[in-house]
C-alpha cells in the first residue's frame, strides 16, 4: 500500500503523519529496553506540543543478535488475539546493555545494537553490529508514521474510527545492491525488491502473487532478517514506494517487528527458529515415494491395488499411498466417513495393502470444512462447533462445498470432537493426514467462540491452529517423531508441524520453475521439509515434462505423485512406452537415487531440524552468502550442504546453471569443474546437473528396496563411501534411521577414513575423486 504519490505528495485519499522528533529517550526499569516519544512535528516551543499525534517506539533486547521494535499510536487500544506462539522452547538468556555517548543512546543485545541519534530533531535509529563492523539498516527521516484512509480534514473525525482505516508503518533503509527474500512460499521473482507483497493467505495456485503460505519473515542479503509479529494482514512495499526503503504497514494501532542479525543467513534462520519454533522432525520413511489417487479421478479398491501391484512389478517401491478427496462421499466433505460404495472395507483394504508389501503407510485427505449434505453438519452446528455470523447463524457459503461450514478451533469442545474424528481414521489404519485448504477464512461479520480473538487476525493464524491440532493427534497415536502432515496452508510457526507441499501448479515448464521458487522461498522461513505435485497438478503432463519433474521432485525432501483429473502412474503418462528413457525407467532411476542418498540426506535433515534450515530445497545463498550471484539463483538449489542440483526445463535437455567457488564433481561420471562460473550442459531424462562440493565425505546406502523395507531401512549395514577432493579434517556425521548420531567419518593425514568401525557395519566400498579426477 502506497501512502505517497511520488516523493513529495501524500497519496490521494490518505492523511499521513510522520514521527519527526525523538523528543525523549527513556530507559525502561528492567534495563532491557528504551522508550522513545516521537511527535509528528518538530517541537521548538511549549505551544508546539499541542494538537498533534505522537508515536511511541519501544526498542527491546530479546536475546543475542535479536532486537525488537514496536511502534504504537493509541496505547489504549486493546491487544486482541490470536498471537504467534513465540519462544515455544523457552526464552534464551539475554544480557543487554544500554549506554550513552556522543553518538547517541545505544541498546545492545549481544552481537546486535541499535543506536538512537542524540539530536532531538534528527530522527535516526541505526541497527548495526555491536563490534561496529557492519551497518545493517536504519530508520531515518519520515520512516515511521501513521495514516488514515480516507483522508481526514479535521482532527475531530478521529472521534469515531468505524469509518476510518488507521495504519501504522515503518520504512527501513535498503542498501545499494541489497536483495530481500522469503515471506513464505512465494512463486514470483526470488528477489522481492521492487515488489508489493501482501502477507495474506489465499487459495490462488502457483502462478500469481497470491500465496497459500504467507510467513511474516524476510531475509536480507546483508546478513539480517526481520520477523513481523502479527498474524494480521501486512502490506509490504519493498523498494516499490521509495526505491531505497522497505515499507511495512498494518491496519492497526501497533506494529512490532524483530530484527535478527546473523551475520550469516544460516545463523539468521537458527535465531528465527528459536523465536518461532524449530521445524518438526519427520521420520526417514516419509522421504520415500508417495503415490496419490489424484483428485477427481475414478478409483476404488481394485484401482488402488492395481496401481500398487504394477509399481511393485516395475521395481518402484511406494512408501505411502494417498487417498484424495473422493474417499469421502460427494457433498459430504469432510465428515470422515469412507464412501462405502467404493470402499466397503477400508480397514481391511489398508491391512491387505500393507501385509502384501505393496505400501508401508496410508494417507488420506481432509479439510476443516463440513458440507451441509452430511448429517455431521447438523450435529456440529447444533453443538456449536462451527464458526458463526454475528447474528448467530452458522457461517456458510457454497464455494468449494455446498453450504459448507468452518470448524471453529477456538472452541475447545470442537477441537475434542475434531480430534476424535481423526482418531477414528487412525483406528482404520491411516498413518498420515493431508491437511488441505484453510486459506479462505472469513473476516467480516463473523464471531468466533473465543470472543477475545480478532477475525482479521484469525485469517492467517487459522493455519497454525488447524495444522497443530492434526499434527498433535498423530504424535499421540504414533509417537513424537513419527507424525507427518501434507499441509497446503501455513503462517509463521507452522514449520513446527511438517510437512507442506506447494499447492496447485500447472503441468508446464513455467510451473516447474514456479515450484522451485516457492520451495526456495519457504525454506528461508525455517521450513525444513517441502514437496510439490510431481508432473504438475492441473492438466495432463506430456511425458517429457513428467520426466523432468520426476528428476526434480525426487531431490526434494519429500516426493509425491499427484494430479487433478488424471492419474500420475508413469505407464499411463507415456502409454507404457518401453523405449530407453521412458517414464517408468526415469521414475525408477530417481527413486533408487534418493534411496541411496538416504544416509547423507537424513543426516542433513537431522541437522536442519535442529538448526532451523531447509533440507532441500536449500537456496545456494545459504551455503555461499558472500557470492553475490548466489542470491539471485532461483533455478537451482542445494540438497543439504554438499550437493548442488539444477533441474532441466526443456525436452531437449539443455540447461544452464552456476557453480560457486571451489571444485565440483559430477555425481554421475566423476568429472570435475571449477567454480565460480556458469555452465551449459545437455542431459537425457535419467540425469540432471548434480554436482558434489569439494571436501565432501558422501555416504551412500543400498540401491534396491528389499521386500518392502522402504526408505527407513538400516543404511548402516553396507554401501559406499565417496570422497570428493577431500583434505585432512573433512568429515561427515553418520546418523541411523531414527536420526541418532552414531559416529563421524573423518579424513586422516594419510587420506584414510577414521571412525568407520564406530559408525558403519557390513560391507562398504570406497571411491575417491582423486583417483579419477577427470577434469572438464
Each residue's pLDDT tens digit, 15-37: 999 999 999 999 999 999 999 99
- Residues 391, 425 contacting (CB under 8 angstroms): no
Residue with cell 546483508: 222
What would the mean pLDDT of 738-767 be, rounded to a whole number?
93
Residue 38, CB-side half-sphere exposure with 13 Å CA sphere: 32
Whether a cis peptide bond, with omega within 30° of 0, leads into 163 is no
Q: Across the strands, what pairs with 235? A: 198, 249
Question: In whole angstroms, what is the distance from residue 45 CA to residue 230 CA?
Answer: 37
Q: What is the pLDDT of residues 301-332, one digit of tens each?
A: 999 999 999 999 999 999 999 999 999 999 99
Catalytic residue, from 504, 514, 574, 585: name it.
504
Q: What is the pTM of this model?
A: 0.97
What's the pLDDT band for 704 if we cut at 50, 70, 90? confident
Handedness of CA 114, 119, 123, 124 (dihedral sign): negative
pLDDT of residue 776: 44
Helix/strand/coil (H/E/C) assignment for every residue in 422-451: HHHHHHHCCCEEEECCCCCCCCCCEECCCC
Cα first-last separation, the chain:
51
Measured in whole angstroms, the distance separating CA 267 from the mean position of its chain's CA atoms is: 17
Q: Are strands 643-645 and 637-639 parallel, antiparallel or unpaired?
A: antiparallel
Question: Which of 731, 691, 715 has its CA nearest to residue 599?
Answer: 715
Question: In whole angstroms, what is the distance from residue 435 CA to residue 421 CA?
Answer: 14
pLDDT of residue 770: 65
What's the pLDDT band for 772 if we cut at 50, 70, 90? very low
Considering the four listed CATH numbers 3.40.50.10140, 2.60.40.1760, 3.40.250.10, 2.40.30.110, the one that applies to the domain covering 4-74+93-274 is: 2.60.40.1760
pLDDT of residue 771: 47
Question: Which of 442, 422, 420 has its CA nearest to residue 434?
Answer: 422
CA angle 686, 692, 694 (to 5 degrees): 160
* Residues present in the chain in total: 776
Q: Across the strands, what pairs with 660? A: none
Average pLDDT, the chain: 96
What would the mean pLDDT of 461-490 be, rounded to a whole number?
98
pLDDT of residue 181: 98
Question: In whole angstroms, what is the distance from residue 700 CA to residue 765 CA?
Answer: 10
- Residues 173, 222 contacting (CB under 8 angstroms): no
pLDDT surpasses 70 at 775: no
754 annotated active-site:
no
pLDDT surpasses 70 at 575: yes
Positions of CATH 3.20.20.80 in the chain: 284-572
Phi and psi at 78, nearest 5°, equal -65, 150
Handedness of CA 427, 430, 432, 433 (dihedral sign): negative
pLDDT surpasses 90 at 603: yes
Burial class of residue 440, CB neighbours in 10 A (0-12, 13-18, 19+)? middle
Q: Where are the beta strands (DSSP E) in 587-693?
A: 637-639, 643-645, 654-666, 671-682, 690-693
Question: Which of 494, 501, 477, 515 has its CA nearest to residue 649?
Answer: 515
Question: In whole angstroms, what is the distance from residue 714 CA to residue 3 CA?
Answer: 59
> Residue 506 contacts by C-beta under 8 Å, 6 or more apart in sequence?
205, 206, 207, 536, 537, 538, 539
> Quick one: cell of 324?
484424495
Residue with cell 502506497: 2
Question: In whole angstroms, what is the distance from residue 243 CA to residue 249 CA?
Answer: 16
Handedness of CA 438, 441, 446, 448 (dihedral sign): positive
- Residues 71, 57 contacting (CB under 8 angstroms): yes
Q: What is the CA radius of gyration of the chain?
A: 27
Cβ-based neighbour number of residue 744 at 10 Å: 14
Question: In whole angstroms, what is the distance from residue 117 CA to residue 214 CA?
Answer: 35
Catalytic residue, from 241, 439, 454, 574: name it.
439
Q: What is the pLDDT of residues 203-228, one digit of tens each?
A: 999 999 999 999 999 999 999 999 99
Cβ-based neighbour number of residue 416 at 10 Å: 11
Q: What Å distances lie between residue 439 and 19, 369, 406, 683, CA to CA?
A: 36, 11, 11, 39
Phi and psi at 91, nearest 5°, equal -85, 130
Share of the chain above pLDDT 90, in %: 97
Whether a cis peptide bond, with omega within 30° of 0, leads into 150 is yes
241 annotated active-site:
no
Give the class (CATH, top level) of 620-775.
Answer: mainly beta
What would the mean pLDDT of 630-645 be, rounded to a whole number?
98
Question: In whole angstroms, what is the distance from residue 381 CA to residue 379 CA?
Answer: 5
Catalytic residue, from 20, 203, 267, 436: name it.
436
Which DSSP category does 624 fall into? -
Which DSSP category does 716 fall into? G
Share of the chain above pLDDT 70, in %: 99
pLDDT of residue 707: 72
Q: Across the strands, what pairs with 765? A: 720
What's the pLDDT band for 774 if we cut at 50, 70, 90? very low
Question: In whole angstroms, what is the distance from residue 541 CA to residue 549 CA?
Answer: 10
Question: In whole angstroms, what is the distance from residue 284 CA to residue 319 CA?
Answer: 11
504 annotated active-site:
yes
What would the mean pLDDT of 47-67 be, rounded to a whole number?
97
Helix/strand/coil (H/E/C) assignment for every residue in 211-250: ECEEEEEEEECCCEEEEECCCCCEEEEECCCCCCEEEEEE
Question: Which of 701, 705, 594, 596 has its CA nearest to residue 315?
Answer: 705
> Quick one: cell of 148?
488514515
- Residues 39, 54 contacting (CB under 8 angstroms): yes
Question: Which of 344, 295, 345, 302 has its CA nearest to residue 322?
Answer: 295
What's the pLDDT band for 708 if we cut at 50, 70, 90? confident
- Residues 292, 257 contacting (CB under 8 angstroms): no
Positions of CATH 2.60.40.1760 in the chain: 4-74+93-274
Q: What is the pLDDT of residues 645-686, one digit of tens each?
A: 999 999 999 999 999 999 999 999 999 999 999 999 999 999
- Residues 725, 772 contacting (CB under 8 angstroms): no
Question: In whole angstroms, what is the distance from residue 761 CA to residue 683 CA?
Answer: 36
Which DSSP category does 158 fall into? G
Question: In whole angstroms, what is the distance from residue 169 CA to residue 174 CA?
Answer: 16
pLDDT of residue 703: 77
Does the domain at residues 284-572 carry the CATH identifier 3.40.50.300? Answer: no
pLDDT of residue 13: 96
Phi and psi at 494, nearest 5°, equal -70, -10
> Residue 6 contacts by C-beta under 8 Å, 6 or more apart in sequence?
none
Question: In whole angstroms, what is the distance from residue 176 CA to residue 630 CA?
Answer: 17
In our burial notation (b when 16+ CB lie closer than 10 A, e otherwise), range 756-774 reads beebbeeebeeeebeeeee
What would the mean pLDDT of 344-369 be, rounded to a whole number?
97
Cβ-based neighbour number of residue 621 at 10 Å: 26
Question: In whole angstroms, what is the distance from residue 511 CA to residue 678 CA?
Answer: 23
Burial class of residue 122, CB neighbours in 10 A (0-12, 13-18, 19+)? middle
Question: In whole angstroms, what is the distance from residue 473 CA to residue 479 CA?
Answer: 10
What's the pLDDT band for 716 if we cut at 50, 70, 90? very high
What would the mean pLDDT of 264-292 be, rounded to a whole number?
98
Q: Are strands 643-645 and 741-747 parallel, antiparallel or unpaired?
A: unpaired
Amino acid at each position: 500500500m502506497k501512502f505517497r504519490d511520488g516523493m513529495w505528495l501524500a497519496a490521494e485519499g490518505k492523511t499521513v503523519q510522520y514521527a519527526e522528533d525523538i523528543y525523549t529517550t527513556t530507559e525502561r526499569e528492567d534495563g532491557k529496553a528504551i522508550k522513545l516519544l516521537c511527535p509528528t512535528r518538530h517541537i521548538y516551543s511549549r505551544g508546539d506540543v499541542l494538537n498533534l499525534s505522537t508515536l511511541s517506539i519501544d526498542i527491546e533486547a530479546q536475546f543475542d543478535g535479536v532486537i525488537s521494535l514496536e511502534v504504537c499510536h493509541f496505547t489504549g487500544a486493546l491487544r486482541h488475539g490470536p498471537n504467534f506462539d513465540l519462544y515455544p522452547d523457552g526464552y534464551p538468556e539475554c544480557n543487554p546493555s544500554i549506554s550513552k555517548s556522543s553518538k547517541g543512546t545505544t541498546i545492545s543485545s549481544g552481537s546486535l545494537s541499535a543506536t538512537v541519534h542524540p539530536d532531538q530533531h534528527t530522527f535516526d535509529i541505526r541497527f548495526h553490529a555491536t563490534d561496529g563492523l557492519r551497518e545493517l539498516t536504519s530508520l531515518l527521516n519520515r520512516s515511521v508514521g501513521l495514516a488514515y484512509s480516507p483522508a481526514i480534514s479535521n482532527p475531530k473525525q478521529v472521534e469515531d474510527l468505524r469509518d476510518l482505516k488507521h495504519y501504522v508503518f515503518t520504512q527501513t533503509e535498503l542498501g545499494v545492491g541489497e536483495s530481500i527474500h522469503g515471506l513464505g512460499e512465494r512463486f514470483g521473482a526470488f528477489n522481492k525488491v521492487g515488489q508489493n507483497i501482501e502477507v495474506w493467505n489465499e487459495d490462488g495456485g502457483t502462478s500469481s502473487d497470491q500465496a497459500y503460505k504467507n510467513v511474516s519473515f524476510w531475509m536480507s542479503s546483508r546478513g539480517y532478517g526481520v520477523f513481523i509479529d502479527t498474524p494480521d494482514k501486512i502490506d509490504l512495499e519493498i523498494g516499490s514506494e521509495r526505491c531505497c526503503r522497505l515499507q511495512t504497514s498494518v491496519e492497526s494501532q501497533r506494529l512490532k517487528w524483530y530484527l535478527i542479525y546473523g551475520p550469516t543467513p544460516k545463523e539468521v534462520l537458527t535465531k528465527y527458529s528459536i523465536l518461532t519454533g524449530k521445524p518438526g522432525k519427520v521420520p526417514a520413511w516419509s522421504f520415500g515415494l508417495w503415490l496419490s489417487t489424484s483428485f477427481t479421478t475414478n478409483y476404488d479398491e481394485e484401482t488402488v491395488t492395481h496401481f500398487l501391484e504394477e509399481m511393485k512389478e516395475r521395481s518402484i517401491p511406494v512408501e505411502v499411498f494417498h487417498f484424495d478427496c473422493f474417499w469421502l462421499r460427494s457433498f459430504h466433505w469432510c465428515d470422515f466417513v469412507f464412501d462405502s460404495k467404493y470402499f466397503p472395507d477400508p480397514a481391511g483394504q489398508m491391512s491387505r495393502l500393507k501385509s502384501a508389501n505393496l505400501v508401508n503407510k496410508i494417507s488420506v485427505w481432509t479439510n476443516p470444512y463440513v458440507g451441509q449434505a452430511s448429517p455431521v453438519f447438523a450435529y456440529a452446528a447444533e453443538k456449536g462447533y462451527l464458526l458463526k455470523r454475528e447474528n448467530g447463524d452458522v457461517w456458510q457459503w457454497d464455494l468449494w462445498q455446498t453450504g459448507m461450514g468452518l470448524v471453529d478451533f477456538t472452541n475447545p469442545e470442537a477441537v475434542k470432537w475434531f480430534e476424535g474424528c481423526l482418531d477414528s481414521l487412525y483406528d482404520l489404519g491411516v498413518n498420515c493426514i493431508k491437511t488441505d485448504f484453510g486459506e479462505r477464512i472469513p473476516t467480516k461479520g463473523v464471531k468466533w467462540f473465543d470472543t477475545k480473538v480478532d477475525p482479521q487476525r484469525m485469517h492467517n493464524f487459522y493455519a497454525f491452529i488447524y495444522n497443530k491440532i492434526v499434527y498433535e493427534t498423530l504424535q499421540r497415536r504414533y509417537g513424537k517423531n513419527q507424525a507427518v502432515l501434507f499441509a497446503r496452508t501455513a503462517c509463521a510457526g507452522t514449520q513446527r508441524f511438517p510437512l507442506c507441499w506447494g499447492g496447485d501448479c500447472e503441468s508446464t515448464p513455467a510451473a516447474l520453475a514456479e515450484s522451485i521458487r516457492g520451495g526456495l522461498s519457504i525454506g528461508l522461513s525455517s521450513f525444513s521439509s517441502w514437496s510439490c505435485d510431481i508432473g504438475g497438478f492441473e492438466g495432463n503432463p506430456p511425458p517429457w515434462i513428467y520426466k523432468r519433474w520426476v528428476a526434480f521432485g525426487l531431490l526434494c525432501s519429500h516426493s509425491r505423485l499427484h494430479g487433478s483429473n488424471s492419474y500420475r502412474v508413469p505407464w499411463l503418462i507415456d502409454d507404457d512406452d518401453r523405449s530407453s528413457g521412458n517414464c517408468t525407467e526415469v521414475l525408477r532411476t530417481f527413486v533408487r537415487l534418493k534411496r541411496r542418498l538416504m544416509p547423507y540426506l537424513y543426516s542433513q535433515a537431522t541437522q536442519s531440524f535442529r538448526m532451523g534450515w531447509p533440507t532441500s530445497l536449500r537456496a545456494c545463498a545459504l551455503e555461499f552468502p558472500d557470492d553475490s550471484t548466489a542470491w539471485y539463483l532461483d533455478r537451482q538449489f542445494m540438497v543439504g550442504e554438499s550437493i548442488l542440483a539444477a533441474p532441466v526445463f526443456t525436452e531437449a535437455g539443455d540447461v544452464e546453471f552456476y557453480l560457486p567457488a571451489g571444485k565440483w564433481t559430477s555425481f554421475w561420471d566423476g568429472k570435475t569443474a571449477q567454480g565460480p562460473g556458469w555452465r551449459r550442459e545437455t542431459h537425457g531424462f535419467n540425469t540432471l546437473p548434480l554436482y558434489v562440493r569439494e571436501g565432501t565425505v558422501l555416504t551412500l546406502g543400498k540401491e534396491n528396496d528389499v521386500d518392502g523395507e522402504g526408505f527407513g531401512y538400516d543404511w548402516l549395514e553396507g554401501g559406499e563411501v565417496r570422497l570428493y577432493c577431500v583434505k585432512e579434517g573433512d568429515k561427515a556425521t553418520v546418523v541411523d534411521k531414527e536420526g541418532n548420531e552414531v559416529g563421524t567419518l573423518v579424513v586422516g593425514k594419510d587420506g584414510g577414513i577414521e571412525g568407520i568401525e564406530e559408525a558403519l557395519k557390513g560391507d562398504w566400498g570406497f571411491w575417491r575423486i582423486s583417483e579419477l579426477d577427470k577434469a572438464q
